[in-house]
Structure 1
C-alpha cells in the first residue's frame, strides 16, 4: 500500500502543529507562564507564518492548513505569556 505525499505531509504537519497544545493547556490551567520564553514563541510565530505564506505560494494545502493552525496556537501561547507573567 502506497501512502500519498499529501497524507504524509498532513500527518507531519498535524504532529508539529499540535506539539504546543499541551503547554498552552498547562499554562492556562496554572495561569503561570513565567518559564515560557517569549523570544522562542515569537520565532515560532514568524516561522509558522512564513511557512503558511510559502504554502500559499506553492498552493500546498497541507502546508497552509497545518502551519496556519500552528501559528494560531503559538499566538495563543504568546497571549498567555503576556497575560499570566508577573513581570
Structure 2
C-alpha cells in the first residue's frame, strides 16, 4: 500500500470513529495503520549510498583491483538494488 493510500485509509477510519463511539477494534485498526504509515515513511527517508560509502563497499567486496567494467557493473548492481527497494524516493515525494 502506498503512503498516500495509508494516509487516506487512516483518515477514513478516524472520520468513522469521530461519527461513532471508538471501540477497541477500531483503536487497534488505527494503531495498525499508524504503524504501517510510520514504516512507509521510514522507507521513503532512506538515502542512497554516498560515493564514499560505495567506494568502501567496493574495497570490502574485493573489487578494488577489478577492471573498470567490473567495478561499474558492481556499482550498477548497488544502484539497481537501491531503486528496487525505493531508496531515496522520499526526497522527490516531500
TM-score of the superposition, structure 1-length normalised?
0.42
Q: Which has the higher contact order (CA 8 A, sep 6+)?
A: 1
| More helix as a share of residues | 1
TM-score of the superposition, structure 2-length normalised?
0.40
| Largest Rg, 1 or 2 | 2
